[in-house]
Amino acid sequence: MNQESLTSSLQALRGYASVTGVILARGSKVVANQSDLLPFQTSEVATTLDDIAAYFRDENRNPDQLAFGYDGAQLLVFISEPNRLIITHRDANEIDLIAMAARAFLADYEMSMAALSFAKSRVA
């Protein structure tokens, strides 16, 4: 997935339901940011969520989705090692709708990355 299609896909996801921000991270490294957070805040969120994922891994627990509520907002995190899709949204009642769209995006993104990796290995 090139940067242009990644950006447009994330913008479409951000415009879905009550979504207010979307961050894609690979481990603690931010790959794309479609949120209102400043770059250092985005980096802190990605690092914190990577630490949370590591904690669960160390405990032999492997959740694929986490949800948090804070200050009237919601945070929805999808973990598909090593990727994390972080979504902020306003309406807790829309979590299932947002999750369906987010999982579809993450599956497309991972398939695209796998195809790109395969193509590069064939050239080398």
41: CATH = 3.30.450.30
Q: Residue 1: pLDDT above 80? A: no
* 26 falls within a domain: yes
* 87 falls within a domain: yes
Determine whether 66 is exposed, middle or buried from the number of CB atoms within 10 Å of its CB (0-12, 13-18, 19+).
middle
Boundaries of domain holding 41: 3-116
Domain tally for the chain?
1
Quick: pLDDT tens for 71-102. Answer: 889 999 999 999 999 999 999 999 999 999 99
* 124 falls within a domain: no
* 30 falls within a domain: yes
* 41 falls within a domain: yes
Determine whether 105 is exposed, middle or buried from the number of CB atoms within 10 Å of its CB (0-12, 13-18, 19+).
buried
* 90 falls within a domain: yes
* 73 falls within a domain: yes
Residues 6 or more apart in contact with residue 114 via CB below 8 angstroms: none
Beta strand 73-80 with 65-70: parallel, antiparallel or unpaired?
Answer: antiparallel
* 50 falls within a domain: yes
Quick: pLDDT tens for 32-78. Answer: 999 999 999 999 999 999 999 999 999 999 999 999 998 889 999 99
